[in-house]
Each structure stands twice: as structure tokens, then as C-alpha cells.
Chains A and B, each alone.
Chain A
Amino acid sequence: MSGLSIGNVKKSFGAVDVIHGVDVEIADGEFAILVGPSGCGKSTLLRMIAGLEDITGGQIRINGRVVNDLQPKDRDIAMVFQNYALYSQMTASQNMGFALELAGAKRPEIDKKVGEAAAILGLQPLLDRKPAQLSGGQRQRVAMGRAIVRDPKVFLFDEPLSNLDAKLRVKMRAEIKALHQRLKTTIVYVTHDQIEAMTMADKIVVLHGGRVEQIGSPLELYDKPRNIFVAGFLGSPAMNFLEGTIEDAANPVLAMTSGSRVKLSRAPANSVNRPLTLGIRPEDIAFGGESGVDAVVKVIEPTGSETHVAVEIDGKELTWVVRERVELAPEQRVKLSFETSKVHFFDQQTQQRLDA
């Protein structure tokens, strides 16, 4: 049975349509991440699932039950907010037990469930503290504990790690993933951070302008992006794009708009003389031999494990990731080659992927 089913869901604020008929199926126990740039409608969609926003059109089902007109408390969901939304006058334990208290649960039952959730999240020593006495990571853990205690069918996370510093974010990322592996409850998680999406999700839903661009597993989306938007959005540093046309179907060559020519090992069918965008990930660029493309090094950014190099090919800036230790200097001329088996082709007009 589907954990969560979103069918042709639409949302309008007055005359402005923000969600244009979204269809998503999330299996029971799946970790789905809604990802997209600011304003793409991902948080609105999550809030519609939670019942915090009305649905203009379509249907949302949780565990097979249509929840369109149900109150948030009756949808069998729990939500973790970006700013934690903890009740400042209550202790961590009271925050976690509040939903059970409102549901009329007896004190021993509340204490037992809060204790279990606290044990899962390592919160036992902090249960008597108020939110102001907790660090950001601890507060987010209490917010997760509040969700766990309710034992919902679906967990909803609205950018829960955005308020944390980079190091803590990585730690909490792993904790949430471990929590999912342990509880095996359906999770819908909203983020604008594609690294979070790639590292945590079973399924990624890429949203753009209120529409679904692509749904699939992280590597599926990374290796076979359906269009230029998905290709450019997933991956850090982002994919490089070069515009040009294919010459000679037998020995394909990309004649770039700027003048350079890149030899290819394959090309999409019927692509000769058709305007194309070629996508190449920064890690699929390498030092080329004499037949390589001429490039000029502009900026060098060593990260330790790898070096990000901004290079210019015929006035077009590309990012190149170098994993080896090499000596490079700004304005140095280098010859580069592309891993031609890993290039992506997109139609310039439709922006859609062309399989080769």
C-alpha cells in the first residue's frame, strides 16, 4: 500500500497558481525528499500534506485514506519545523508529551513513550531542560522526539537542518537517516540543499515553479537527469553546459557556438546540425593530450580532498574538479578532455534530455 499518494494536487493563492497539478507516489516506509529552489512550492506542498494549507484541487491520501478535509491532528502525521517550534515555557519532556496529553493519555503512558523517544535520540539527560537551555542540535532533536512520540504514519520535515551550522548539519543528517532506518516510517522531507537530498533520500522529487521536474532515486537523477534544470540543480559543483551543434554522425564532434570543437564518442540520433546543449559534470573533465580543448585557468579553490578549478573555454566559464595534487596557477593554459561516455545531451529548445 502506498504510504502517501499525491494526485493532481493544485494550489492557488488568489489568482496566483503556485502548484500546478503535482502527482507523487511515496511507498510505505520510503524516505522521500522534495527538493527545489526557493519559491518552487515544496514547503507549500508539505504544508498541504500536513493540513496547514487548503488544497485547491486534487487529492492527498495517507495510507489509502483521503485526507483533504481532515484536520492536521486527524491525519496521522507529525511535523518537524525549520525553527523547531518548541513551546518555550515547557520542558523538553513536556514538549514531547504534549500531543499525548491533549489526546487524553495517562501520565504513566506519556512518561513511557517520552522515555522511549528520548532513549532513541539520546535526550534522557536533557528532559527537564527548557528549550532556551538547549543548543540548536538538541532543540532539533527534541522536535524530532515530539514527532516520534506520536508514532505517526508519516513524518514531515520542513527544512529541519537549515538553522544548524555546517558541522552539526552533517551529524544530524546521519542521525535522521539512522532514525529512518530504525523506525521505517514514511518520511517526506523538504530541503533546498541538494546534498541533503542526495545523501538521505530513497526517492527525490525535484520541483520547479510548482511542477515536478523529475522523480527518482538519487543516483538515477544524478546519472540521467531528465532536463537541464534537474541536471544543473543536482550535484555540487553544478554540471557545466556548452552550447553547440553536432557535426558528422559517424565521428561526432560538438562544434561549440564559441568556436572550439570537442570530439565525442557518441551522439543522439538525428542530432546532426541540431542546436544542442552538452552537459558535463566537473569530475568528468580531465587533463587532455594534444587533442584536448584549450582552456585558461581562472580561479583555484582547494578543498583538501579535491580542488575546484574555474576554467575558461572560449570565454565560457566551466568548473573542473581535480582529485589529484597538481600545480596550477591563474591564467595558466591547459588542455582539457571530457569523459565522453558521461556527457549528457539536451535539446536547446525543449531543454529535455536526448539519449544517445
Chain B
Amino acid sequence: MTAMPTNHAAVHLEVQLSSIKRDPVLIGLWIALVAVALVWVAPFVFIVFTSLKTPAAVTSTGAFVPPTELAFENYSAAWSRGNFANSFLNSVIITVIKVPLGLFLSAMAAYALAKIRLKITKALLLLVVFGTMIPFQVMLAPLFTLVNSFGLIDTYPGVILPYIAFGVPYQVFILHGFFRGIPKELSEAALIDGANHFTIFRRIFLPVCLPVLAALLILDFVSTWNEFAMALVLLQDQRMWTLPLGLMSFQGQFSSNYGQLNAAIVMTVLPATIVYLIFQRYFVSGLTSGAVKG
């Protein structure tokens, strides 16, 4: 009698082990995952290692060889050479205003398109979707003329407003799809309870779509923080530069200090990475929300 459970357990374990061993698809997936991870992590390893090497070590050792002595002075030198105190502040101001404001506007627009029935709703949605299809590079010259005519070159609104204009369409598109998936009975129940559309949006829909908002916040934060081309055109005064523009200080025609350059890159990328790590659990749930019955 007592031998039975042991035998059963052994058989069960054997079956489990053999099924793991025999699954070639799983093995293939793992190999692919490791390969992709290596490709992905290689630049980070290169940048971090180089940022901690002296100029001599950069030229004498391989890119993926760890630094023998850690040159932390690269970071302090890069901070002052790139005028990071200033450009960091500019990046923070632009991102902290643009990202929440853009998201809030997008969410309100998406709610209106998804839940308020108007004859022109479809046409408006089409217009918004059309906005996602225009590459901003095409718009750079006219954008410069427009911002210049408003006298907003080298100002925060001069860069925040175009950022919002180019960020809103895809956010509206994503949030519209999410709001459409929320049962209409929820807003109808709130309408009967006496809520107006803004109350329904604020009290009922915003809390429900927090995961999606978190996902969009990360995407938008990273893209705004790292944005280069538009900032280059619209911010010409060096005191107004953002971090990616600050990196230009490290590329001269006759000199390149790769240690400092990579230290500057690490400092530029770090805030975005930290924001991603904080919100990543929402990010994943936001990307998969609505995929399965909750």
C-alpha cells in the first residue's frame, strides 16, 4: 500500500522530465530568446564598459572587455562638459509637462470618440488615425516656420506643443480601441446615476484604463526623453538644449573622448530605464489588457 504513492510520484516525475526533455519547440524558443537577449544587451554592455574606461584603455582593449580600473571621473567630466545640469533640467521640464498633459488630452479625445455618438465621430477618428501616418521628418521644415512665426523658437512651449501634436494621434488610436472594449452598460449605468461625460471619464474610465495609461506613459516618456531631431530644429540656443542634444558636445571634428561620450549616454538613458523599471508591471498588463476575458 505504501509503495503506491511513491511509484506514482516517480512515474509522474519521469513523465514530466521526459516531456520537458523532448519538447524541441521549447528548446528552440529558449535558444532564440537567449540570442535575442544577447543582441539586445550587447550595446548596453559596450556603453557601460566604455564609460568606465580611461581613454588609453578604450583604444587598447576590446569593446566587450571589462575595465580593469574604473574611471568614474568620466561621469563628472561628462556632466560638466555637456552642460548636463542645464540640459537635464530642460529635459525634465519638457518631459514632465508634455507626457501627462499629452496623455490626458489623448484619453479625453479617445473617450469622446469611443463613447459619445456624433455623426462626425468616424470622420474625426479617421483624421486622428491619419495623423499617425505622417512622418514628422516631412513636417520639420514647415514646423520650424510655424513655430518661428509664433515666436516660440527656443522656448518650452515651442517644443512641448509640437511634441503633443505628434504624440496624441497614436495615443488616441490605442486608447480609443481600449475604451471601445469597455461595455457600454458601464457608462450608461453612470449616466442613469446622474454622471455627466466628464465625470464618467474621470471617475469610471480613467481608473479602469490605468494599465494602458501606464504603458503609454512609459512609451511616451522614453520617446520624449530621447527625442533628438525635432529638438535640434526647434531649440537652437544651447541653454535650451535637452539631453540628447547635449550629447553632441562630445563629437568634435578633431576630438572624441569615447569614455566621456558613453558616460553621457549612460546618464541620458538612465532616467528612462528607471521609469521603465518602475512601471514595467503595468506596461505588460497594459499591452495584454483586453486580450483575454477578465
Indicate if the CB atoms of A83 and B194 lie closer than 8 Å.
no
Return the contact of B191 from the options A72, A83, A150 (Cβ within 8 A). Answer: A72
CA distance A87 to B203 in the complex (A): 9
Indicate if the CB atoms of B192 and A102 lie closer than 8 Å.
no
Among B172-180, B181-189, B268-276, the one that faces the other chain is B181-189
For residue A89, CB closer than 8 A to chain B, the reply is yes
For residue A212, CB closer than 8 A to chain B, the reply is no
Q: Which residues of B contact A (CB under 8 A)?
A: 183, 185-186, 188-195, 199, 203-204, 207-208
- Which 9 residue pairs of A and B lie closest in terms of their CB atoms, listed nearest first? A85-B185, A99-B193, A85-B189, A73-B194, A89-B207, A102-B194, A81-B185, A72-B192, A72-B191
Q: Which residues does chain A contribute within 8 Å of B191, judged by CB atoms? A: 52, 71-73
Indicate if the CB atoms of B208 and A88 lie closer than 8 Å.
yes
Q: Which residues does chain B contribute within 8 Å of A99, judged by CB atoms? A: 192-194
Q: Which residues does chain B contribute within 8 Å of A296, judged by CB atoms? A: none
Q: In chain A, what residue has the closest Cβ to B187?
A: A85
Q: Which residues does chain B contribute within 8 Å of A85, judged by CB atoms? A: 183, 185-186, 188-189
Q: Which residues of A contact B (CB under 8 A)?
A: 50-52, 71-73, 77-79, 81-83, 85-89, 98-99, 102-103, 146, 150
CA distance A77 to B192 in the complex (A): 8
CA distance A78 to B199 in the complex (A): 18
Q: In chain B, what residue has the closest Cβ to A73?
A: B194
Indicate if the CB atoms of B194 and A50 lie closer than 8 Å.
no
Most buried by A among B183, B188, B199, B208: B188
Main secondary structure of the interface of B (DSSP, over half): helix
Q: Which residues does chain B contribute within 8 Å of A146, judged by CB atoms? A: 189, 193
Q: Which residues does chain A contribute within 8 Å of B208, judged by CB atoms? A: 88-89
Return the contact of B183 from the options A83, A103, A150 (Cβ within 8 A). Answer: A83
Q: In chain A, what residue has the closest Cβ to B210?
A: A89
Q: In chain B, what residue has the closest Cβ to A79?
A: B192
Q: Which residues does chain A contribute within 8 Å of B207, judged by CB atoms? A: 88-89
CA distance A73 to B192 in the complex (A): 5
Q: Which residues does chain B contribute within 8 Å of A102, judged by CB atoms? A: 193-195, 199
CA distance A4 to B286 in the complex (A): 45
Q: Which residues does chain B contribute within 8 Å of A81, judged by CB atoms? A: 185, 188-189
CA distance A79 to B189 in the complex (A): 7
Most buried by A among B189, B190, B191, B204: B189
Q: B209 CB to closest chain A CB, in angstroms?
A: 11
Indicate if the CB atoms of B186 and A87 lie closer than 8 Å.
yes
Indicate if the CB atoms of A78 and B194 lie closer than 8 Å.
no
Q: Which residues does chain B contribute within 8 Å of A89, judged by CB atoms? A: 207-208
CA distance A82 to B186 in the complex (A): 11
Q: Which residues does chain B contribute within 8 Å of A86, judged by CB atoms? A: 189
Q: Which residues does chain B contribute within 8 Å of A78, judged by CB atoms? A: 192
CA distance A84 to B203 in the complex (A): 18
Q: A75 CB to closest chain B CB, in angstroms?
A: 8
CA distance A85 to B192 in the complex (A): 12
CA distance A79 to B192 in the complex (A): 7
A-B contact pairs, 12 of them (CB 8 A): A50-B192, A51-B192, A77-B192, A85-B185, A87-B189, A87-B190, A87-B204, A88-B207, A89-B207, A98-B193, A102-B199, A103-B194
Q: In chain B, what residue has the closest Cβ to A99?
A: B193
Q: In chain B, what residue has the closest Cβ to A74?
A: B194
CA distance A72 to B185 in the complex (A): 13
Q: B151 CB to closest chain A CB, in angstroms?
A: 44
CA distance A87 to B190 in the complex (A): 9
Q: Which residues does chain A contribute within 8 Å of B185, judged by CB atoms? A: 81-83, 85
User: Are A73 and B193 also in contact (CB < 8 A) when A81-B188, A85-B188 are?
Assistant: yes
CA distance A153 to B188 in the complex (A): 18
Q: In chain B, what residue has the closest Cβ to A152?
A: B192
CA distance A354 to B33 in the complex (A): 77
CA distance A77 to B188 in the complex (A): 13
Q: In chain B, what residue has the closest Cβ to A52?
A: B188
Q: In chain A, what residue has the closest Cβ to B185?
A: A85
Q: Which residues does chain A contribute within 8 Å of B189, judged by CB atoms? A: 79, 81, 85-87, 146
Q: Which residues does chain A contribute within 8 Å of B203, judged by CB atoms? A: 87
CA distance A86 to B199 in the complex (A): 16
Known contacts A72-B192, A85-B186; can you find 15 more A-B pairs with CB under 8 A?
A52-B188, A77-B192, A82-B185, A85-B183, A85-B189, A86-B189, A87-B186, A87-B189, A87-B190, A89-B207, A89-B208, A98-B193, A98-B195, A102-B193, A102-B199
CA distance A85 to B194 in the complex (A): 15
CA distance A78 to B194 in the complex (A): 10
CA distance A83 to B183 in the complex (A): 9
CA distance A82 to B199 in the complex (A): 23
Q: A80 CB to closest chain B CB, in angstroms?
A: 9
CA distance A99 to B193 in the complex (A): 4
Q: B286 CB to closest chain A CB, in angstroms?
A: 16
Q: Which residues does chain B contribute within 8 Å of A79, judged by CB atoms? A: 188-189, 192
CA distance A81 to B193 in the complex (A): 13
Q: Which residues does chain B contribute within 8 Å of A98, judged by CB atoms? A: 190, 193, 195
CA distance A50 to B195 in the complex (A): 15
CA distance A82 to B190 in the complex (A): 15
CA distance A78 to B190 in the complex (A): 11
CA distance A82 to B183 in the complex (A): 11
Q: Which residues does chain B contribute within 8 Å of A150, judged by CB atoms? A: 193
CA distance A85 to B190 in the complex (A): 9
Q: B246 CB to closest chain A CB, in angstroms?
A: 41
Q: In chain A, what residue has the closest Cβ to B189?
A: A85
Q: Which residues does chain B contribute within 8 Å of A77, judged by CB atoms? A: 192
Q: A119 CB to closest chain B CB, in angstroms?
A: 21
Q: Which residues does chain A contribute within 8 Å of B195, judged by CB atoms? A: 73, 98, 102
CA distance A73 to B193 in the complex (A): 6
Q: Which residues does chain B contribute within 8 Å of A83, judged by CB atoms? A: 183, 185
Q: In chain B, what residue has the closest Cβ to A82?
A: B185
Q: Which residues does chain A contribute within 8 Å of B193, judged by CB atoms? A: 73, 98-99, 102, 146, 150
Q: Which residues does chain A contribute within 8 Å of B188, judged by CB atoms? A: 50, 52, 72, 79, 81, 85
